[in-house]
């Protein structure tokens, strides 16, 4: 009886209780939290719109679009002040640059990029996306509020399309075409409202000269996409507009594009809706200290249409045997060579590259001389030890573009003109005049000698957020594989990826020596026993 009780006790304390403890540990330990559900009402559905068709002032015959702006401002007074201090209007803003480079006024107006080099000098084409009417040259009046284009953002009919090459002027009776007719101002004015995706997308989808050329995560397909492409904007989902995230107060739109921005202010954040601990799971939530939401939640970009990854201007200018410009296409039917632009590499379903980024960026400025190659046109600042830095997914756009070999400065290039013979590259395919005129338009010195240099631009990704089933998994980063997403991001210890070789070798040596030791000892015991 006594021994039976003892055996039962032993069974309990040796097997049952330990097994229970381990079972409970595994059961409660191996559980992932359930993310919070966000309940959100789209801004577009919040209030009833004013019916602008009832206003007599909007029913007049508008000769010029500027007259319509005047009509808008007659009721919406002071809004012109808001807009005229915005970067959408000024294309520059006071920016405190990192690396103690001081405060400068920079923006699309006066920055270099590695697409068409600069907007400056190419007003007719580039300033089509300025929110004004006719910024053709320096004579444009930035103080005239009627030069503001209200419609490009507030047209809710999706019929207001500004013509190409017009520096932001819509078609007139003289230059109207089937693609870009004279806008029906009365119809549009009767149907204005908060900006729709179509409004923002008219410019922001087409930067760089075509759909999805520039950003890679902003393109036409997002006007009508499923949840896989963009979980926020999906038609059959929340169907959000740009301004649902890019919260706007008095025409001040939150959000930054670091091709032109420098400071960690006025940004749009996932956390605004989702909080910084949205997973209800400690291990995953803690990543937010050092990993941007975007890193896991935007595993690939350019999910529908390809984006340009590489643009080599040095190849531009070739002509066929008849002296005509050449166009070549890649397997996806995207142009891989254009005489007017050079060689292109497009890609679709692209895995981002990853950088430490703290929300500030440096920029190549006029007067900066090339030191390191590839030249960083915009530099994302950040490192592991910086408390504001997080790992961020980035589209890197690489290219080759013209620079002055004497001054070692990146050149402005005049690519656009309405007609041949004005020295623009797209018309005449001559580098000397195109660079000369480009540099002149920016008021810069040009030695006359040029070559091409490799450059890189960095585009932090924010859009095309995937549904949770498609986010990165732990082992996509926490792996020793060279294919790991963070395989190249050095300077910190990443569990699963990193280890100290010396410690591991020592450790395995200790284990092997222990094994040899006990085996030898055991053999000696067996041997001794036999004798």
Which residues contribute to the site for other proteins (CB under 8 A)? 6-7, 9-10, 13-15, 17-19, 21-22, 24-26, 28-32, 283, 286, 289-290, 384-385, 387, 473-475, 478-480, 492-493, 495-500, 503-504, 506-508, 510-511, 513-515, 517-518, 521-522, 524-525, 528-529
Closest to other proteins by CB, 30 or 61: 30
Which tokens go with 466?
A: 């995937």
**Min CB(379)–other proteins separation in Å:** 22
Closest to other proteins by CB, 187 or 499: 499
Pairing of β 390-404 and β 307-312: parallel
Closest to other proteins by CB, 373 or 510: 510
Per the CB < 8 A criterion, the answer to whether 304 and 229 are in contact is yes
**Min CB(28)–other proteins separation in Å:** 7
CA-nearest of 472, 432, 464, 449 to 227 is 464
**Min CB(438)–other proteins separation in Å:** 45
**Min CB(272)–other proteins separation in Å:** 23
Closest to other proteins by CB, 164 or 525: 525
Three-state DSSP class for residue 345? strand
Q: Which residues pair with 354 in a beta bridge?
A: 393
Closest to other proteins by CB, 383 or 432: 383
Cα dihedral 467/468/470/476 (nearest 10): 140
Closest to other proteins by CB, 57 or 474: 474
**Min CB(227)–other proteins separation in Å:** 23
**Min CB(376)–other proteins separation in Å:** 25
**Min CB(480)–other proteins separation in Å:** 4
Query: Within 10 Å of residue 411's Cβ, how many Cβ atoms?
Result: 25
For 138-201, the three-class secondary structure string (H helix, E strand, C coil) is: CCCCCCCHHHECCHHHHECCCCCCCCCCCCCCCCCCCCCCCCCCCCCHHHHHHCECCCCHHHHH
Compute the distance between CA of residue 221 and CA of residue 155 in angstroms, rounded to an integer.
20
DSSP label at 266?
S
Closest to other proteins by CB, 161 or 497: 497
Closest to other proteins by CB, 214 or 297: 297
Per the CB < 8 A criterion, the answer to whether 164 and 14 are in contact is no
Closest to other proteins by CB, 141 or 271: 271
CA-nearest of 304, 354, 305 to 458 is 354
CA-nearest of 309, 141, 294 to 215 is 309
Long-range CB contacts for residues 107-110, cutoff 8 Å, separation at least 24: 107/260, 108/260, 110/366, 110/442
**Min CB(504)–other proteins separation in Å:** 7
**Min CB(391)–other proteins separation in Å:** 12
């Amino acid at each position: 009886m006594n021994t039976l009780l003892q055996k039962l006790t032993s069974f309990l304390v040796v097997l049952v209780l330990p097994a229970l403890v381990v079972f409970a540990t595994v059961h409660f330990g191996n559980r992932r939290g359930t993310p919070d559900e966000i309940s959100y009402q789209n801004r577009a559905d919040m209030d009833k719109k004013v019916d602008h068709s009832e206003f007599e002032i909007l029913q007049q015959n508008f000769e010029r679009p500027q007259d319509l702006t005047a009509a808008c401002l007659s009721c919406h007074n002071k809004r012109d002040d808001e807009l005229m201090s915005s970067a959408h209007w000024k294309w520059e803003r006071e920016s405190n640059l990192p690396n103690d480079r001081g405060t400068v006024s920079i923006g699309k107006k006066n920055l270099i990029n590695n697409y068409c080099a600069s907007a400056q000098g190419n007003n007719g084409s580039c300033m089509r996306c300025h929110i004004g009417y006719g910024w053709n040259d320096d004579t444009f009046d930035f103080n005239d509020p009627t030069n503001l284009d209200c419609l490009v953002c507030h047209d809710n009919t999706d019929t207001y399309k500004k013509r190409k090459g017009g520096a932001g002027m819509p078609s007139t009776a003289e230059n109207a075409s089937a693609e870009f007719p004279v806008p029906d101002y009365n119809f549009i004015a009767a149907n204005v409202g908060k900006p729709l995706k179509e409004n923002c997308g008219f410019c922001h989808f087409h930067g760089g000269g075509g759909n999805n050329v520039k950003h890679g995560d902003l393109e036409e397909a997002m006007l009508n996409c499923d949840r896989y492409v963009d979980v926020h904007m999906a038609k059959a989902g929340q169907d959000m507009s740009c301004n649902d995230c890019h919260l706007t107060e008095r025409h001040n739109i939150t959000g930054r594009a670091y091709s032109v921005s420098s400071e960690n202010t006025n940004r749009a954040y996932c956390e605004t809706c989702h909080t910084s601990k949205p997973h209800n799971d400690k291990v995953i939530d803690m990543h937010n200290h050092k990993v941007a939401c975007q890193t896991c939640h935007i595993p690939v970009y350019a999910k529908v249409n390809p984006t340009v990854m590489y643009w080599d201007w040095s190849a531009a200018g070739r002509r066929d045997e008849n002296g005509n410009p050449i166009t070549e296409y890649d397997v996806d039917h995207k142009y891989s060579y254009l005489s007017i632009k050079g060689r292109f590499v497009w890609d679709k379903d692209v895995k981002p590259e990853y950088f430490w980024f703290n929300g500030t960026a440096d920029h190549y400025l006029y007067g900066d001389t090339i030191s390191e190659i590839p030249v960083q046109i915009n530099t994302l600042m950040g490192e592991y030890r910086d408390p504001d830095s997080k790992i961020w997914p980035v589209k890197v756009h690489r290219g080759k573009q013209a620079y002055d070999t004497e001054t070692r400065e990146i050149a402005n290039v005049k690519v656009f003109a309405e007609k041949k013979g004005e020295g623009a590259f797209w018309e005449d395919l001559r580098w000397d005049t195109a660079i000369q005129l480009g540099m002149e338009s920016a008021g810069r010195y040009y030695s006359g000698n040029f070559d091409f240099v490799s450059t890189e631009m960095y585009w932090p990704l924010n859009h095309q957020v995937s549904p949770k089933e498609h986010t990165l998994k732990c082992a996509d980063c926490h792996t020793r594989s060279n294919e790991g997403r963070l395989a190249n991001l050095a300077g910190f210890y990443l569990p699963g990826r990193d280890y100290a070789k010396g410690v591991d070798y020592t450790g395995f040596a200790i284990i092997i020596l222990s094994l040899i030791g006990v085996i030898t000892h055991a053999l000696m015991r067996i041997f001794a026993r036999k004798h």
